[in-house]
């Protein structure tokens, strides 16, 4: 690999690794798995070395690649689980243990369904529009808007419950 390519990949990694990790975490619900999938995303970047027209295309490519890797992981895990019939598979809709020091945003993502997590993350944390989210996630724009509305409603309900509990205990 020539030094310019190496510098470019290191630059993309520094700028985007946290975004890709949070996106993977929103999809899979588990930190260690999200870390592995993030690393694999950047391995794909190294091997394919695509050319991007602008930073938005770069970020979209990374998210699309990460999404495919996450979905491929679940397809593989599901087929292994069905063929081996080895009991319960930990899926992202299970409640992962909340590690200490987690951000409040991460805690809020855990309140959502696996379908809602990446929608909320991409909309609020990354600033994508619903049409762009639909393209990244391979969903219809109307589905994304519906998931966004349901996620907002769920988060509003959870925040209201927290406030009510604080008033009762406080």
Taking CA 71 as the corner, what is the angle to CA 54 and CA 132, rounded to the nearest 5 degrees? 35
pLDDT: which is higher, 57 or 84: 57
Mention every residue, 6+ apart, whose C-beta is less than 8 A from residue 21. 34, 35, 38
Taking the C-alpha atoms of residue 143 and residue 110, their distance in angstroms, rounded to an integer, is: 20
Please return the burial class of 35, using the count of CB atoms within 10 Å of its CB with bins 0-12, 13-18 and 19+: middle
What values do phi and psi take at 64, rounded to 5?
-65, -45
* Global confidence as pTM: 0.65
Averaged over 68-72, what is the pLDDT? 90
């Amino acid at each position: 690999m020539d030094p310019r390519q190496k510098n470019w990949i290191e630059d993309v990694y520094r700028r985007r690794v946290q975004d890709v990790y949070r996106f993977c975490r929103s999809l899979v619900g588990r930190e260690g798995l999200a870390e592995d999938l993030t690393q694999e995303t950047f391995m794909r970047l190294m091997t394919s070395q695509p050319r991007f027209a602008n930073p938005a295309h770069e970020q979209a490519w990374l998210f699309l690649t990460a999404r495919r890797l996450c979905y491929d992981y679940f397809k593989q895990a599901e087929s292994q689980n069905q063929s081996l019939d080895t009991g319960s598979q930990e899926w992202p809709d299970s409640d992962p243990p909340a590690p200490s020091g987690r951000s409040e945003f991460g805690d809020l993502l855990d309140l959502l369904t696996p379908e809602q997590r990446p929608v909320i993350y991409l909309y609020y944390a990354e600033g994508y529009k619903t049409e762009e989210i639909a393209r990244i996630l391979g969903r219809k724009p109307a589905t994304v808007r519906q998931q966004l509305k349901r996620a907002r409603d769920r988060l509003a309900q959870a925040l209201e419950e927290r406030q009510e509990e604080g008033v009762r205990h406080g």
